[in-house]
Structure 1
Amino acid sequence: MSQHAAQATTQRPDGRGAVRKLTAVLVGLTALVTLMLGAFALPSIHSGPRDMPVGVTGARDATRALQQKLDTDMWDVTVYDDAGALTSAVKDRDVVGGLGVSASGVDVYTATAASPMGGTLLTSLGNTLAAQQRTRATVHDLLPYPGDDPRGAGLSAAALPLIFGGMFPAVVLTRIFPGHRGLRTRLAGAVLFSLLAGAAVTAFLQYGTGSLTGNYAVTALGVSLGMAALSMTFIGLEALFGFAGLGIGAAVMMFLGNPLSGLATGPHWLPEGWSTLGQLLPPGASGSLLRANAYFDGTGAATPALTLAVWVVLGLLLILAADRRGVKAGGGEPAAGAAAPASVAGG
């Protein structure tokens, strides 16, 4: 047998080994698709109001009866002295809406921009109460979506661009400026991209589609903060753990952060516990910050902004740890998990 034939025989993959590898790949991909379906489907299937804060006002007997009726896991009821106090609470985001009961009818106070699903449910409840009292229900949408986008489609569509706006720069910059020597360039690039992309995305949603209102500069900075929180975390994960770290981080943000963000419905519509987790992840915090700046003049922006700032600090700490490790290694080695040069891999 010639040397080339012997070498080909040695390099030819074993049949059983190939079957095992193919089986592992197929099982892994099937599990991934199933997990993806579960991550996106389960929050929707089990969604509904969970301790949704609402207010009621009116005559004492009527409000007491209404409070008892709403005393379930669905609602968190607060009684207000009059309609003025209730409307102020809605605008201050203390409650997502409320009901005013009087002899002349039922007033439904909603804030579609805060919780469209909550507003729909309160309206239905108000119509039911009015029918029972043989009166009528009047709906007051105190904080609606803009007239150019009354269903809030632009806000709902912003979820994936916000995630990809953090993921793409990490991947691209890592490819163009790899290893420890390019780490600081990647960091600077991520910050600059976040500022530019935040300004562009906000301009498109506010001036292109009319989906946002509020102060453009403040809203754009909030969007940029969300993108920076993701991109810097991704760059830090890749610098320390290679593309495996980047892949795990991206999977968490896509499969957990996106469906649990509550951007389309509001966080009170998600299953208990999952809504809290969603708001602690950058996609959920970014969505809440965008909603607060775009429709509520910054009311409720402090918590999501602080959450994103913590993620930025986490990303910086990861990058700093990777930078120190690279300095100790001499600065010329590629980041962990990076592909070895072909000459070294080949022997």
Structure 2
Amino acid sequence: MTQPATAPDHAGQGRRLAVVVVGLAAVVVAMLCAFALPSVHSGPHDIPVGVTGPQTATAAVSKVLSGEEWDVTTYDGEKALRAAIEDRDVMGGIVLSQGHITAYTATAGGAQSAASLTSMVTAVAKQQQADVTVTDLKSFPADDPKGAGFSSAALPMIFGGMIPAVILSRLFPGRAGLRLRLTGGIAFAVVAGFAVAAMLQYGTGSLSGDYWISSLGLSLGMAALALTLLGLESLMGTAGFGLGAAVIMLLGNPLSGLASGPHWLPNGWATLGQLLPPGASGSLLRANAFFDGTGAGGPVLTLSCWVLFGLALILVAGRRGPRRTTAEEPTSQAQLV
């Protein structure tokens, strides 16, 4: 005997629709918060700066710089201060002398921080009626003095990790394609890293330093992104890839600090950004391209951890047994009457 068709559950569908609408609205708000909050609260946050000169003068300037914007360290002399800037212990420095102030900046370490330091020193010199000299110890290359090409590298690095994860997952699906996806992800990261570095260094003139080192750093960053997303997709399917892509785009991109430097973001946001692949990749590229590798250790460690995390996810996905896609068939079937 056939059963009558059940009436559509309009109330249930309405509830599901309401959940979807509220959920999508929450996603939009989360996106706005992720992009807007760091920008709204951006500015100098504990920018490390060095000061040297007569004790009374350095004490007075240190008092002026006290607060949340600057983290002041006193040095014994100008030589020690310059060395600290080149070693990335501080972002800039101030040399005080009778009737003259010298400001040392490192624009390549953070253009906005350098501009803020220059503005502050100019204001102090005006108050003291002193002359000012500004020297940029670490500037962007002459072909790209504003660092526009360097700042624009964020999205290519991010999409350089996302695109291969999407394409390889579609071309080589399932457990049988895991090795091909892994091999393809690593190969793409290497090729793309060298290609992007060549474009930035020789095409736009945005990078200086050793091309091979910068290329390897970019390849490591793209591998960290690609393998993590491939691992999430292999283990959790589309939901895993979506989760990873959302974190990278909504948090990793705005918190990378590639254009401004991490000291221009609020402390908590800046720390989180440097722990994510886009921020670590940007910091590694900055260290290799402009500071002869100084400060590269932390980003290399962070990116290596992401690579290992991605490999671990892929290994777990490869060892996991096949999912049961259908329920067991009953031994007998009921007859229709």
Give the structure-2-normalised TM-score. 0.92
TM-superposed CA distance for 1:114, in Å, is 0.2
Q: 172-181 or 269-278, which moves further after superposition?
A: 269-278
Whole-Å separation in 2 of the counterparts to 1:219 and 1:275: 23
Distance 1:197 1:25 in 2: 38
Aligned to 2:194: 199
The aligned counterpart of 1:345 is none
Q: How does 1:143-182 map to 2 (within 5 A)?
A: 143-182=138-177
Q: Which residues of 2 match residues 181-330 of structure 1 at below 5 A? A: 181-325=176-320, 328-329=321-322
Residue 101 of structure 1: CA displacement?
A: 1.2
Partner Cα distance (1:175, 1:28) in 2: 27
Q: Distance in 2 between matches of 1:295 and 1:131?
A: 32
Query: C-alpha distance in 2, partners of 1:175/1:133?
Result: 66
The aligned residue for residue 108 of structure 2 is: 113
Aligned residue for 1:76, secondary structure, equals strand
CA offsets 1:84-108 (integer angstroms, 9 cap, x no match): 2111111111100011111131111
Work out the CA distance in 2 between the residues paired with 1:27 and 1:136.
60
Distance apart, 1:76 and its partner CA: 1.3
Aligned-residue offset at 1:15: 4.3
Give, in angstroms, the shift of residue 19 of structure 1: 3.8
Task: Mark the runs of 5 or more structure 2 residues left unpaired by the alignment.
Answer: 327-337
CA distance in 2, matches of 1:62, 1:158: 41
User: Amino acid of the residue matched to residue 260 of structure 2?
Assistant: T
Q: State the distance in 2 between where 1:205 and 1:167 align.
A: 20
Hey, what does 1:64 align to over in structure 2?
59
CA displacement, residues 188-235 of structure 1 (integer Å, 9 cap, x when unaligned): 000000001111111111111111111111101100000100111111
Aligned position for 2:335: none
Alignment match, 1:129: 124
Q: Which consecutive residues of structure 1, in runs of 5 or more, have no partner in the other structure?
A: 335-339, 342-347
Give the Cα–Cα distance (whole angstroms) in 1 for the partners of residues 49 and 82 of structure 2. 11
SS at match of 1:121: helix
CA contact (8 A) 2:99 2:129 kept: no
Distance 1:42 1:20 in 2: 32
Tell me the secondary structure at the aligned position of residue 274 of structure 2: helix
**How far does residue 289 in structure 1 lie from its aligned partner after superposition?**
0.1
What CA deviation, in whole Å up to 9, does each residue of 1:101-160 have, x standing for no partner?
111311111000001111111111111111111122111011111111111111111111
Instruction: State the distance in 1 between where 2:283 and 2:198 align.
Output: 18
The offset of 1:61, in angstroms, is: 0.9
Equivalent position SS for 2:267: coil
Q: Secondary structure at the match of 1:218?
A: helix
Does the CA contact (< 8 Å) of 2:48 and 2:70 recur in 1? yes
Aligned residues: 325
> CA–CA distance in 2 between the matches of 1:276 and 1:246?
24
The 1-side partners of 2:303 and 2:59 are apart by 40
178-187 vs 115-124, greater mean Cα deviation:
115-124
Amino acid at match of 2:258: L
State how far apart, in whole Å, the 2-side matches of 1:307 and 1:32 are. 28
Task: Identify the residue that residue 52 of structure 1 maps to in structure 2.
Answer: 47
What's the C-alpha RMSD, in Å, of the aligned pairs? Answer: 1.9
User: 2: distance between equivalents of 1:209 and 1:155?
Assistant: 9
Does the 8 A contact of 2:231 with 2:317 survive in 1?
yes
Paired AA for residue 69 in structure 1: V
